[in-house]
Amino acid sequence: MFAENIHNMARELIKTHGENPFDIAEGLGIKLILNYDFKKLYGMYTVIKRKRIIIINGNLERGMQKTVLAHELGHDRLHKNLASNRVVHDVMLYDMTARPEYEANMFAAELLIKDEEIFELMRDYGYSAEQTSARLGVSPELVTIKLLSMQQRGLEIPEL
């Protein structure tokens, strides 16, 4: 049921603000900052005096910035209480050991990858997860997380 809720939340944002995470952040009134001083940090999310802020590593290539932003939007939608007056920072984007990180990754996968794209590329064309990720411009880890979400929602996922 949780995967279904995340899926619906992401689809609703797309319906309201479009598919681009940068447009979604703007539409939600989240202050977005690109920081070029980050070395290892991908991004962070915080709430200070009720102002939501996402800071992204400006040195990342644009596709990775989109993925990191989608992940941080997941923290905004799911974990505002964890970020109130403190920072949720991400050094490892695909950390699956901490529940909030897993949830934010699932949100990013749902925001950036449509079910139909997975079905078309993997089932209809026989693409592997790696080929699918290259075609969609996302990481193989994000495709795997999307497949897990689809499975948890009761969809018959393509063979890997």
- The pLDDT value recorded for residue 48 is 85
Q: Where are the domains of the chain?
A: 2-152
Residue 1 has pLDDT above 70, yes or no: no
Which of 39-43, 79-83, 146-150, 156-160 is the least confident region? 79-83
139 backbone dihedrals φ, ψ, rounded to 5°: -75, 155
Residue 91 has pLDDT above 50, yes or no: no
Contact residues for 101 (Cβ-Cβ < 8 A; gap 6+): 90, 92, 95
44 backbone dihedrals φ, ψ, rounded to 5°: -155, 155
**What DSSP letter does each residue of 118-149 carry, written as one string?**
HIIIIIIS---HHHHHHHHTS-HHHHHHHHHH
- For 57, the enclosing helix (H) or strand (E) is strand 51-57
Report which of residues 84 and 113 the model is more confident about. Answer: 113
- Measure the CA–CA gap between 141 and 128, rounded to whole angstroms: 12
pLDDT band at 158 (very low <50, low <70, confident <90, very high): confident
Q: What is the pLDDT of residues 16-68, one digit of tens each?
A: 999 999 999 999 999 999 999 998 889 999 888 889 999 999 999 999 999 99
- The pLDDT value recorded for residue 83 is 53
Residue 87 has pLDDT above 60, yes or no: no
